[in-house]
Amino acid sequence: MTVVSRGWNRLTLPGKFLFILVPLLIVATAALLILITAFGQLAIDTLAANLPIVRFVVAATVILLITVPTAFLIIYMEMKIIALMNLRIGPDRVGPFGSLLSVVHGLKVLMKEDFTPTGADSVVFTWAPVVVYLASVMTLLVIPFAPGLYGADLNIGLLYFFAVSGLAVVGLLMAGWSSYNKYSLLGGLRAAAQIVSYEIPLTLSVVGLLLLAGTMSLNQLVENQQGWFTDWYIFQQPLGALIFFIAATAEANRTPFDLTEADSEIVAGFATEYSGMRFGFFFFAEYVNVFIVSALFVTLFLGGWNAPFALPAAWQVQLSLDPASFNIGLLFIIALAPVVLTLLFGAPFWLLSSRITWWQALLIGFVLANLFIITLAVAWAYIGLNWVAGILWFMLKTYVLVFTFVWMRGTLPRVRIDQLMGFAWKWLLPASLLNLFVTAAAIVVIGR
């Protein structure tokens, strides 16, 4: 016994962890291998037989998971971009260029006390952020990120989108009502009034587009826009796109229409009584909404995952590089390429300047070689894999739009509530009706 305890005490702290973890890992791997050989085929068959369910579960999980880094990224973008526009530097301490600051914010929110006020309807109070968050997240299910990369290709995708995103109003009202606070209630009603008002021009602005496209499936809408960027619907529906953009800004509660939680003016609107992660859900939902609204705008008006150019088929590179054709040579390439490339990229720097020492040259070479390999891999994926190209274009366009939203927040002042309502009912609604009638008339006169 003493021998065992003495040996254990001699281990360092990482040693103690490893001493337990390594055998556990070996056992777990062996067990997993045995399980796979025993039940692997059965599991695959079962999953293949229930493909729709598997697809739904995987899509729902993936979409729930990607919202978190998306929200973090957009919060970081907001902090950094507005800071740069204010001639400040913004976050620069946590992570590279401060990019992990929003993660720290998320952890902070997670660790705060989750407080329910006395007199609050605790069930409704608890479920309100969930409703708001899910209403945002569920809309992502129908958005086509790339060819074949979507949760579900509903033939009423756009209708589903508006229906589900409209559920957020219910969540806001729930939050305002259940807080047992008149200011929360007023904030909730304000938010509901704004979102309901802007739903109308938002929905009407895309009806003209639907007349043109003849489909409500978002996937089909994107495929209709294939070709050069002039085939995008924004050039056939400029007024519709403008109305949609303005109404979507109000829907996402973004500046200049961020009255519902104008952080510099009112307490926090419907979220006054919320704290901790329940407040975090509202916060997340807001930023996920920015992404979703941008993604929908890209899908409807900016060609979705289509590249802005369509090269003739003769120009397209046919990549038929099969890694298996190298046989055993593949191993040598994988083993030698990093070394050779590091030396190759480092040598010019070493020869160029006597002030660069050999290890600095090697470091530069290593970084450059990695960049080169990553570039090659991305280029190969872009050319070889359809969905990689699609998601790259989609994300590029979406984040340009997200940048625009942040840019607007860095620039524009907030409107008054009467200006907000007057603008929706007196200008946007007639304009969207005009857009609808002109489009319909054009279709009747000119034909499709």
Partner 1 sequence: MSFVPGLGIAKGMALTLRRFFEPKATIKYPEQRADVAGKFRGRLQLLYDEWGTLKCETCFQCAQACPIECIDMGGIDTKGRFHVHWGAPETYGERREESALRRSGRPVPDTAYAHFEGIDIRPVEAILEEFDHDPKHMLQILEATQAAYGYLPVAAVKLISHRTGAWYAMIYGTATYYRHLRFEAPSNEAQVAALDARRPSDGSYLAGLEAALAGAGAGGGSGAGGTGSNGGAGSRGRSRGGNGRGAEA
Q: Name 146's bridge partners.
A: 149
Tokens of 369: 């070689």
Please, which residue, 4 or 87, has the CB nearer to partner 1? Answer: 87
Q: Which segment (30-38, 51-59, 78-86, 324-332) binds partner 1 by CB under 8 A?
A: 78-86
Residue 83 CA to residue 11 CA, distance in Å, equals 49
Around 143, how many Cα atoms within 13 Å sit in the side-chain half-sphere?
A: 30
At residue 262, φ and ψ (nearest 5 deg) are -60, 100
Is residue 84 within the footprint of partner 1 (CB under 8 A)? yes
Q: Which segment (46-54, 192-200, 322-330, 409-417) binds partner 1 by CB under 8 A?
A: 409-417
Among 408, 433, 440, 443, binds partner 1 (CB under 8 A): 408
Residue 335 CA to residue 333 CA, distance in Å, equals 5
Among 81, 158, 389, 428, binds partner 1 (CB under 8 A): 81
Residue 304 CA to residue 219 CA, distance in Å, equals 9
Is residue 407 within the footprint of partner 1 (CB under 8 A)? yes
Q: What is the DSSP letter of 42?
A: H
Is residue 426 within the footprint of partner 1 (CB under 8 A)? no
Q: From the CB of 441, what's the least distance to partner 1, in Å?
A: 24
Q: From the CB of 198, what's the least distance to partner 1, in Å?
A: 18
Tokens of 156: 């009423």
Please, which residue, 48 or 87, has the CB nearer to partner 1? Answer: 87
Q: From the CB of 251, what's the least distance to partner 1, in Å?
A: 19
Q: Which segment (15-23, 80-88, 98-106, 303-311) binds partner 1 by CB under 8 A?
A: 80-88
Distances (CA, A) of 263 to 271, 398, 409: 11, 25, 12
The answer, yes or no, to whether the previous bond of 430 is cis (omega within 30 of 0) is no
Q: From the CB of 412, what's the least distance to partner 1, in Å?
A: 7
Q: Cα–chain-centroid distance for residue 448?
A: 34
Closest to 272 measured CA to CA, from 183, 351, 345: 183
Q: Which segment (294-302, 329-337, 363-371, 402-410) binds partner 1 by CB under 8 A?
A: 402-410
Among 29, 122, 411, 419, binds partner 1 (CB under 8 A): 411
Please, which residue, 83 or 156, has the CB nearer to partner 1? Answer: 83
Closest to 410 measured CA to CA, from 295, 198, 255, 266: 255
Please, which residue, 338 or 410, has the CB nearer to partner 1? Answer: 410
Is residue 364 within the footprint of partner 1 (CB under 8 A)? no
Please, which residue, 88 or 108, has the CB nearer to partner 1? Answer: 88
Contact 117, 355 (CB under 8 A): no
Q: From the CB of 84, what's the least distance to partner 1, in Å?
A: 5
Please, which residue, 13 or 87, has the CB nearer to partner 1? Answer: 87
Residue 395 CA to residue 403 CA, distance in Å, equals 12
Contact 69, 79 (CB under 8 A): no
Q: Name 158's bridge partners.
A: none
The alpha carbon dihedral of 331, 332, 333, 336 has a sign of positive
| Helical ranges in 179-214 per DSSP H | 182-205, 207-213
| Burial class for 303, CB neighbours closer than 10 Å (0-12, 13-18, 19+) | buried
Q: From the CB of 87, what's the least distance to partner 1, in Å?
A: 5
Please, which residue, 173 or 428, has the CB nearer to partner 1? Answer: 428
Is residue 239 within the footprint of partner 1 (CB under 8 A)? no
Q: From the CB of 14, what's the least distance to partner 1, in Å?
A: 32
Among 410, 415, 442, 443, binds partner 1 (CB under 8 A): 410
Among 104, 211, 412, 433, binds partner 1 (CB under 8 A): 412
Please, which residue, 85 or 124, has the CB nearer to partner 1? Answer: 85
Q: From the CB of 413, what's the least distance to partner 1, in Å?
A: 9
Q: From the CB of 431, what's the least distance to partner 1, in Å?
A: 12
Q: From the CB of 69, what's the least distance to partner 1, in Å?
A: 24
Q: What angle do CA 127, 198, 297 make, to 5 degrees?
A: 90
Tokens of 177: 């009502």
At residue 319, φ and ψ (nearest 5 deg) are -105, 105
The interface with partner 1 within residues 86-105 (CB under 8 A) comprises 86-89, 92
Q: From the CB of 158, what's the least distance to partner 1, in Å?
A: 27
Q: Which residues contact partner 1 by CB under 8 A?
A: 81, 84-89, 92, 407-408, 410-412
